[in-house]
Amino acid sequence: MTKRDVFINKEQMMNLLMFLPIWDGKMPRPAILKPCPLWTGKQVFSLIIPGNVNMIRTHSTHPDEEDDGPYKWISPGDTK
């Protein structure tokens, strides 16, 4: 859902938002306006998860010395 090529049209977005108990009735601004409004999967995902969730995980072969480096919040997957 959070890949770059996932887009959701207005009808699908409304259906998803109607199932959210915390939805306030306001639709977020679409990421693409023309030729038709489209929302990204990342926009939907950010509406679904609560705002206070913060999780940092590393894989089993992650070197411990990198944990305190200048790029500790950036991973190679963030740039793709």
Residue 67 lies in a domain: no
Q: Give the mean pLDDT of 60-66.
A: 64
Residue 4 lies in a domain: yes
Residue 43 lies in a domain: yes
pLDDT at 72: 67
Residue 68 lies in a domain: no
Q: Note the pLDDT tens digit of each residue in 18-58.
A: 998 888 888 899 999 999 999 999 998 888 887 777 777 66
Residue 7 lies in a domain: yes
Residue 26 lies in a domain: no
What H or E segment, with its residue span, contains residue 17? helix 10-18
Nearest 5°: phi and psi at 41? Answer: -65, -30
Residue 37 lies in a domain: yes
Residue 78 has pLDDT above 80, yes or no: no
| CA-based radius of gyration for the chain | 17
Q: Which domain holds residue 13?
A: 1-21+32-50
Residue 10 lies in a domain: yes
pLDDT at 3: 85
Q: How many domains does the chain have?
A: 1
